[in-house]
Amino acid sequence: MLGAGDVLEVRVYQEEGLTGVFRIDTDGTFQYPLIGQVKGADQTPAQLATEIMRRLKESYLRNPQVTVFVKESRSKKVFVLGEVHRPGTFAYEDNMSIVQALTLAGGFKSLADKNRTVLTRVIDGTEKKYILPVEKIGSGHEPNVLLQPGDIIFVPESWL
């Protein structure tokens, strides 16, 4: 699904004036030539292409052929905090695991409590927290955990 901040390339076959790069605004929309404001958020690229095609067909073109490509996905992020070398916000990728996210964050610092890593995820509007044994995951003793956009990973400091 697309979201605010995503950068799209919209192509209309044989219509160079309607082909371009657009960023979805914070309100989930962007301005498109001839048809004005278009809702991009919460749609797939294919759904958005169908919507633009329908609106162009209503008043401007006989049989427009529209494709939408995601150039930058800025709406899908994961957050890694705590006892890692480079805490921060990272672009979510399909099938991203907790191990991948922690690697992007530079790995654990020496005082990290690796087996008490907290994953915070919003499910049906409710925030849920899970304690994950990442050291055991990394050594293959526990299954890896796939992340979802918006997940927050917090690595606490060891008490010992």
Examine the domain organization and report whether 84 and 134 are in the same domain.
yes
On whether both 81 and 68 belong to a single domain, the answer is no
Domain harbouring 14, CATH code: 3.30.1950.10
- Residues in Cβ contact with 115 at an 8 Å cutoff, skipping those fewer than 6 apart: 132, 133, 134, 135, 136
Looking at the fold, whether 46 and 61 belong to one and the same domain comes out as yes
Same domain, 65 and 107: no
Helix (H), strand (E) at residue 58: helix 45-59
Supply the range of the domain harboring residue 31: 7-72
Q: Is the pTM here over 0.85, yes or no? A: no
The mean of the pLDDT values for the chain is: 92
- CA distances 119 to 35, 50, 81, 143, 150, Å, are 42, 37, 10, 15, 11
Query: How much is the pLDDT for 160?
Result: 67
